[in-house]
């Protein structure tokens, strides 16, 4: 492109004059580069130029290259570009790890002569993957609704007690406003929690399995929501001489993940919600989260005299919360207020999250 030649696809130069004085433009592959001098603060500049580039089909960022300010506009897309092979491979690997994790929960036997015998644990794998997958798909669907570029869920296969460390989606585009940030943040916990409730209710109607420690765990402790479901359906969470069906464990995992994700700090779902609900005041809330987690662990250890093994989780998450608080939450481009309806949904979501909390999630066999 020659100097001051109007870009063919991006916003015209005159539309930027009130915030960015352009003196040169270039095309770099699919990207458009606008070199110039900002005449307002970066925040004001972004709020002005972002919708112009978004309407033209681009995501824009202000960068400094060799001492020059440049608006870099990259084509944006919210659709899939071919088969998402990485997502597929990670999902298949997680199916394998959750199937093998289910072997211990069922007390099953898998023979090397018949490796497909591991498929007998498919209800456990389906419960865990279904709850986690629906949680992340809630985020993905709402991202598409608000035209924000996001990946499909990435499952994390790890040969642990549950066979996975969860699933994540990656947000590639900026969040337009607080409403979009709230909707994307709240969709995952609500969708995942609905799936966890259904899975738990189904699992409580299935046959219990033989009692005994699993992965060194003596027993899972159930949060109020699972206890309420059991009471409502007339099911027994502690069947005599047995353990509840492992499908219930899938619901337990979903509720536990919901609670952790709703911690109001950083890039967690709770951090998104509080940022959308309170704006920059979210920083005050986030700063209290690590102290609260360390305090919970200390109270259980020193006052309730719970074994350290059973509460190490809260000290671990306290450290994670420090890092998340330091990194900060997602920041929407337009920092406008939320309406009363979304505020009410946010409060309800946090209440539901508390119903998924239990101070000592599990105890160990010593």
pLDDT exceeds cutoff 70 at 213: no
What whole-number distance in Å separates Cα of residue 210 and Cα of residue 249? 14
What whole-number distance in Å separates Cα of residue 307 and Cα of residue 365? 11
Residue 240 main-chain phi, psi, to 5 deg = -60, 125
What whole-number distance in Å separates Cα of residue 269 and Cα of residue 282? 13
Residue indicated by tokens 């969709």: 187
- Provide the pLDDT for residue 1: 42
Residue 155: half-sphere exposure toward Cβ, Cα within 13 Å = 27
Tokens of 157: 């296969």
CA distances from 295 to 224, 258, 327, 362 (A): 22, 21, 22, 19
Interior/surface letters 36-52, b for 16+ CB within 10 angstroms, e for the rest: beeeeeeeebbeebbeb
What whole-number distance in Å separates Cα of residue 98 and Cα of residue 178? 36
- Provide the pLDDT for residue 366: 59
Alpha carbon 6 to its chain centroid, in Å, reads 41
CA distances from 222 to 107, 217, 227, 251, 255 (A): 21, 14, 7, 10, 10
> What class has domain 13-75?
alpha beta
Q: In the chain, where does DSSP find H-type helix?
A: 42-55, 85-106, 122-145, 178-203, 224-233, 246-261, 269-278, 282-302, 308-327, 340-354
DSSP 171-193: B-S---BHHHHHHHHHHHHHHHH
CB atoms within 10 A of CB 304: 10
What is the residue extent of each domain of the chain?
13-75, 85-364
| Least trusted range by pLDDT, from 48-52, 59-63, 214-218, 260-264 | 214-218
What whole-number distance in Å separates Cα of residue 168 and Cα of residue 181? 16
Percentage of the chain lying above the pLDDT 90 cut: 53
Tokens of 322: 């420090």
Residue indicated by tokens 């000592």: 360
Over the stretch 312-333, which tens digit does the pLDDT of each residue have? 889 999 999 999 998 888 889 8
What whole-number distance in Å separates Cα of residue 46 and Cα of residue 31? 18
Strands 209-210 and 242-243, how do they pair?
Answer: antiparallel
Tokens of 353: 């999250």
Tokens of 352: 């539901």
pLDDT exceeds cutoff 80 at 216: no
Q: What is the overall mean pLDDT for the chain?
A: 88
- Provide the pLDDT for residue 271: 94
Alpha carbon 292 to its chain centroid, in Å, reads 21
CB atoms within 10 A of CB 109: 10
- Provide the pLDDT for residue 2: 43
Tokens of 306: 């719970």
Work out the average pLDDT over 189-194: 97
Alpha carbon 366 to its chain centroid, in Å, reads 33
- Provide the pLDDT for residue 54: 87
What whole-number distance in Å separates Cα of residue 38 and Cα of residue 122? 58
Tokens of 200: 């738990």
- Rg over alpha carbons for the chain, rounded to the nearest Å, is 24
Query: Between residues 159 and 247, which one has the greater pLDDT?
Result: 247
- Provide the pLDDT for residue 56: 86
Residue 196: half-sphere exposure toward Cβ, Cα within 13 Å = 26
Over the stretch 5-23, which tens digit does the pLDDT of each residue have? 556 678 888 899 999 999 9
């Amino acid at each position: 492109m020659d100097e001051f030649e109007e870009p063919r696809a991006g916003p015209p130069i005159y539309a930027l004059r009130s915030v960015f004085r352009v003196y040169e433009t270039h095309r770099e592959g699919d990207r458009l580069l606008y070199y110039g001098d900002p005449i307002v603060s970066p925040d004001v500049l972004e709020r002005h130029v972002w919708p112009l580039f978004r309407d033209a089909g681009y995501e824009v960022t202000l960068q400094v290259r060799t001492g020059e300010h440049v608006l870099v506009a990259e084509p944006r897309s919210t659709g899939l570009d071919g088969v998402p092979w990485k997502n597929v491979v990670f999902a298949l690997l997680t199916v394998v790890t959750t199937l093998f994790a289910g072997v211990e929960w069922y007390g099953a036997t898998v023979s090397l002569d018949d490796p497909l015998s591991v498929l007998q644990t498919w209800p456990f794998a389906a419960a865990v993957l279904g709850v986690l997958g629906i949680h992340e798909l809630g985020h993905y669907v709402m991202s598409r609704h608000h035209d924000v570029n996001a990946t499909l869920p990435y499952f994390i296969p790890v040969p642990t007690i549950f066979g996975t460390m969860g699933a994540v989606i990656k947000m590639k585009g900026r969040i337009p406003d607080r409403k979009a940030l709230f909707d994307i943040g709240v969709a995952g916990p609500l969708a995942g929690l609905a799936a966890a409730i259904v899975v738990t209710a189904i699992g409580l109607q299935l046959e219990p399995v033989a009692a005994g420690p699993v992965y060194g765990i003596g027993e899972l402790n159930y949060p109020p929501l699972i206890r309420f479901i059991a009471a409502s359906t007339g099911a027994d969470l502690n069947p005599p001489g047995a353990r509840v069906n492992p499908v219930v464990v899938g619901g337990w995992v979903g509720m536990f993940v919901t609670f952790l994700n709703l911690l109001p700090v950083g890039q967690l779902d709770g951090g998104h919600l509080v940022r959308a609900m309170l704006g920059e005041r979210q920083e005050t809330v986030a700063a209290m989260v690590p102290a609260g987690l360390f305090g919970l662990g200390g109270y259980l250890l020193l006052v309730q005299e719970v074994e350290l093994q059973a509460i190490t989780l809260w000290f671990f998450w306290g450290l994670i919360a420090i890092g998340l608080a330091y990194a900060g939450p997602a920041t929407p481009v337009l920092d406008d207020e939320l309406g009363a309806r979304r505020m009410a949904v946010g409060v309800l979501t946090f209440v539901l999250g508390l119903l998924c909390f239990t101070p000592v999630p599990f105890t160990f066999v010593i």
